[in-house]
Every structure is written in C-alpha cells, then in structure tokens.
A and B are shown apart, each in its own frame.
Chain A
C-alpha cells in the first residue's frame, strides 16, 4: 500500500524552529514530526511513502535515507516547482501512487498529530464501498475551519462549508484521507484545492464518506498548538503505552524523557514535558508544559513553563522562562534572566530580562 504526505512549504508559523530545520523534521515528543506519521503508516502495511515537498529537498533527502534503513519502508520525494495547492501534488506524484494492485492510498497532512487509527479507516473504506474516505474531528470552534456536513449513520458527506458564519456542524477535515486511485483522474496537474474542488465533486456523486476520528487531533503547525498537542499526545501515551513515560518522585503527570538525558536531584518535572536526547537538567530545576529539544542544558534552580527550548540552547541558573517563550537553535539565556513570551531567533544570547512578549532577531 502507498501513502502521500503533504509536506508543503516553508513552515513560517513554526519559526524560529523552522529557521534551523524544515518543518517535518522539527521534533515533537522527541521524534521528528513526520516520523510519527511514517511509523503509523508502516504499522498498517504501507510499503512506500511519497513526501510532497517544495522546500529544502536536500535536507529532507538526507534524513530519509537514514529512516528508510531503520524502518524498512521506501520513502521518496515529489518536489513541486510551483505551489500546487492541496490536490495538485497528488497529480504530480501520480506515477508513484498508482500500481497494478488498484489499492487505495493514504494522504496525510504533515502538520497533524493524532492517534492515526488507520486500520479502522481501511475497514471503514471497504465497508462503504465509495471512492474516498476522510477523517473528520470534532472541534469546539468550527467556524475557524472548513466544516464537513455529513449524514450521521453511514458518514456520507453532503458538503463542505468554509468558515461558516452560522452553525452547520462541528466536524472539520482532519487532514487524513484514504483514496481510490480513480480520484487521481479527477485532479489536473495545476494548483488545485482538494477541499474546494475535488471532494465536493466526489460528494455530489455520493461517493465521499467521513469517519469521525477517535481520540485526539491537533494541527501543531504553530507554537501554541504544538504545546497543547504535546499534552494530548502524552495523555494518549499514558493510556496506551505508559511504560514510555517517566516515573519517579520528581515526576508529576505525563513526562517523556529520552534515555540519554540526565536529570539532577531536587528537580520537579511535569506535567506535559518532553526532554530530548543528550539534555542535561541540573539540580533544582522546575519544568512544566514544555519541550526541551536535543542537547539543551538547563542550569540549576531554573524554572520553565509553557515554552519550547530549541536544540543546543542553554538556560542560566535561576532563569525563569514562561508564557510561550520559543527559543530557536543555540540560544543562551543568561543567569537570573526572566523571559515572558520572548521569541528568539537562532544563535542569540539573552543577557537581560524580557518582560513583555517580543521577537528577538
């Protein structure tokens, strides 16, 4: 079985992290974002994944070689030379997605994190016998998104309504599709929107069905949602593979610690924290609701909450970092400094406190 992951563009919403690596390679819960998806696909028997990209192919290709070997799955790139929207990339990758088997193929949006119940989706797709299946997820504020209006029993999709002013439903497109090869015949090689042009066409023919996504869903393409997403993901881990989470008297709630990270005495870590490879957390540190990327050193008595600390950064002694502070790669916060929501670009030193949210270039 095959799959296409829509990786798309520059990841500007996740800057400054994406100034150092392309978005799919930004770590989430100690694993590159795209690896979560590739692993889920492999688990249901996908043998080839095509990444639809338009940016930094060299960096992606290097990463892929490493993971192709480890996961024993074929990974290729399909590179857009001009932006093709959300459907065009499928046409571009056509030859890679169709084979003689006639099997349907998955399409995933790379910004999405969820439980990936792909096996259930395959069964759902076989059950209704239609041309395309999409996952939808229930949200509190549907008007921010595109709402999928569907009939409840079979999940047959009636229509899509973009950012509806009045309530028409609370299910939105979760960015996970399972499509028959015939869908490719509906897509021309030009900038095309799958939600606005392709799916409505299939819906009219009563061949598009939606399955409500069980479990959590988050678009982690921006820092605030990334932090919320980590909470949901760790919660999921706790219910399904709690052995992966850290335990101990200095751990509160769900905490993920890489085996090569070191945590000193007198620390209090959690809830909802991920600590990456090679990190050093010195004694007396408090961490909550934050991600600490590879190679970071947090010095004694520091306190960090609701923030993301980028690769190889350091946080000084008694520093306090909170309220959506996002540090890029190689950022060094001096001792005793306070950061309230600073967004700091790579290779910087923060020597004095930042009391109001500010971008430091």
Chain B
C-alpha cells in the first residue's frame, strides 16, 4: 500500500514528508527529479516512475507535486485517486492548496494525513468525517482555543465512520434548510472550416450544496433521464433505483459535493450554441494577410451567450495584426503568436466582427494551414444537452427545505 508521501514544489524542494510505514529516505525522490528534468514541463512528468526498489506515483496539483512511494503491487489508480483526495482535502481545509497554506498548517496537515491512511490503507477520506475528527482552522477557533484551552481534535468517534452512510455526519442542524443543485455542462467540440461538427461531446456534472438538518432522504428526478447513459455517481446514490426507475435517490453528505458526472457524446444531441464565419487568408505576394471573423448565436434557446473569447494561434510568420473589432477588445502577442479577442456578451441584433490586416515576416513563405480558432463561452440558465431537473422530493424529515437548481453551459479549453 502507500508507503510514504513527499510534497515537492516547482523549485524541487521537498517541503513535507510523511511515512505510513518505515521511514524511506528522501533520496528516493532523486529518481523523481531526474524524470522531472527530462519532462521539461511539470505537466509532462510521467505519473508512474519506476526505481530499482520502489515505484513513485505522483500527481501535479496547484504547483505542487504529490509524490507517493509504493513498495508492493498496488493499483496505481488507487494511489492517484487518493492523492487527489489529499489535495482536495487541503483545499477544503485551508481554502487553497498551496505551499504557503500547507506550511502554515503543518500540524493539521500531519494530523490529516495520519487520519486518512493507516499502514497505507485509506481510513477516513470523506471530508464530513475528517472535519469531525479534526476541526478546520479558523481565526475564531484558534482564538477561542487559546483562551479556553480546548482542542481542535474531536473526542468522540465520528458517527459516520461505521454507519451505512459513512459520508454523512450525524446531528446536522440548520435553521435555514436549503438544497442547491448546479447542472454544469462543458462542451468540447471541433468544427471544420465550413462549420460542420467533426467532434463534439458534453461533459456534465451536477454539483450540490445541501444544508439540510437530520437525515434527509432525497429523490431527484429528471424530465429526460434518457439523455444520461454514461454516468458516474457519488457513493451515496442508490444505483438500483437509478437502474430501475431512472431517479437519483440518496442521503446526501452535508455541504458541498459532486452528486454525479455524465457524458453525452452522441453527436446529434450536441448542439453547438454559436456559429463562426471566418476568413483568414495570406497573400502569395507581399507580406500581408487578411482576417475577418464574425460570430453569431445559434440554438441558445433564447438565452444570452456570455464571456465569449476567441483565441487564434497564428502561424509563426505573422508579425503583427492591425484589426478593428465592432465589439470587445483584441490583443495580439507577437511573441506567443496568440490573438485574443474578448467579446463579452453576444449581441443578437448586431453580430460582433473582427476585421483587418495581418503583417507577415517579409520573404517568408506563405503559411500553408489556416490557423485554428478556439472559442470560450458561457451560457447561464441553460444545459446545452437539454437535461432538465423535474423535481426534488425529500423524505425522512418533516421540515420544508428551500430548493434551487441552476444550469450553466461552458465552453472552455
């Protein structure tokens, strides 16, 4: 199982180490540094590194390498999932998962790591349970603690640990009982020059923020559950009921959690919310080119398209761009050759247009390929797949909760 963990920053300093079995010398990280050097970029460091006596399995999150040391055959995904859980827990406890935050809270970090693994076996990884065992730091609490001498470690057995709903703590109490669900969809699509979809998929998640007292048993149903054929659920979701009735039935964890994620990749179901007319041409003679891009809304079901940003990776020979935008601002970075056009809201009446000339390196051959365009955008109040929540029912508790569902569609790369 997981033997040791080293946290390493971008500069190659090991700023924290934790061993769950015998102590392994930090020199084992030399193999990691070797791989890091080879990879050039931190993102490209291979996740599994073999050394003569150990395996190093690592993830790169928030500019920190989480490097775990493995001695026996352990499923690598198991380790990677766990490391992500550690990073999330830091984020959850300290507000951000940075070297500074970890160093400032080093004892809590150590206590947390000790609680999360025993002998390399995961022990408590649910945020609900950990927070009962080790209270997150707050300014108020550290003040109160220092006055009253009380501690930030729970004295009783976390109730969730052994119940059949290990993700929920007992005795939750709120004055305002509320449950919010965010349906967030991201489109990933590739269109060719003529605007035909080459590839499109929707990656959706339902994130929940549930603040309900007691042990509420919720049922969430959809208008069109058939859209969802490729799903993965939070452990709280009763899979049997989903299989038979296509409803999500669950006792929720307390607080924020990801209820489910899904994937829609049937091409015909993916509607692209905008269209682009673009013409980028380079002249054979002379060192110039023309650029003309127009964007328009399409299939937005009456919702406004916001935060529209067009990014173009220009060929190396493009020295500068002299353009006019009817809406928004554009910048061209001659070093990275990236043209960014920040449009903002998409106007239905007056379509935004960017037009003008490009100056090229003189004497260089005319670029062969047309540059590709990246478009980022966001649509509030719309799940582009058409997924709609029908109703949310609560059983097991008497009070009336406040319920809300929000939809967002994003296109970001």
A and B held together in a complex: no
